[in-house]
Structure formats: structure tokens, C-alpha cells
Amino acid sequence: MYDDQTLLQIVGQIMIAILFVGTWAINATTKVKQHLDRMNAMNVPLAGPLLFIGFVMQIVGGVMLLVDYRTPIAALILIVFTIAASVIFHRFWLIDDPLRRHYHVSFLFSNIAVIGGLLLVI
């Protein structure tokens, strides 16, 4: 586990994993209805099954990354999850209110940075 990695690489990988495991814990326990309502409002097809698949990707990829199990596969799972979540939940181009649009652009940029970190893990 964590063979041939520096202490900083290990800490960075654990921090990225905590992001996904922690947000999964919050989303899957307290925000299911909120996410489902938002997806349905945006006409996302098969919102329920897609939300469930997203939760599975988030926790499986996050735990794999946390325990350093097949990290390239874990990182790819989390990259696909992050891209899909960004496209579904951060459609800034559809938002008229400048403050809300800025909020979603900021989340998109944060997600791009997370993807960059996951690419470094690979």
C-alpha cells in the first residue's frame, strides 16, 4: 500500500480521497432528494438511476483511492464522475443571475483542479 510514494504524494492522495468519500457521505445521506429534484428540473433522463450510479462511482472510487487499491482505475472512475457531475449540476451557461453563474463557474474551475490532481495520481 502506497509503495514508492513520497509522504507528500500519500497525503495528497488521501486528501483527494477524503473529498470524494466525505461528499458522498453528505450527499447520499442528506441531499438525495435535493439532487434528484435538481436533476429532474434540468430534464436529466433517468435521473434516479444516474444519481445512484454517481453515488456508487463516488464511494467506490474514493475508497479505492483512499486505500491505494488500483489507483489509476480509481482515479479514472473519479474523473468520469467529476466530469458527469459538472455537466449535470454546473451548467453556468444556462444561468442568468450573475452571482449564481459565477458560483457555478467557480465550482467548474475547482472540479478542473480536482481532475488535474487525479491525473497526477495516475
Within 13 Å and on the Cβ side, how many CA atoms surround 113? Answer: 9
pLDDT band for 4, please (50, 70, 90 cuts): very high
Reported as a single tens digit per residue, the pLDDT across 108-119 is 999 999 999 999
Spans of all domains in the chain: 7-121
Q: Is 31 helix (H, G, I), strand (E, B) or coil?
A: coil
Q: Cβ distance 107 to 90 under 8 Å?
A: yes
pLDDT band for 1, please (50, 70, 90 cuts): confident
Angle subtended at Cα 11 by Cα 24 and Cα 113, rounded to the nearest 5 degrees: 60
Reported as a single tens digit per residue, the pLDDT across 73-98 is 999 999 999 999 999 999 999 899 99
Helix (H) and strand (E) counts in the chain? 5, 0
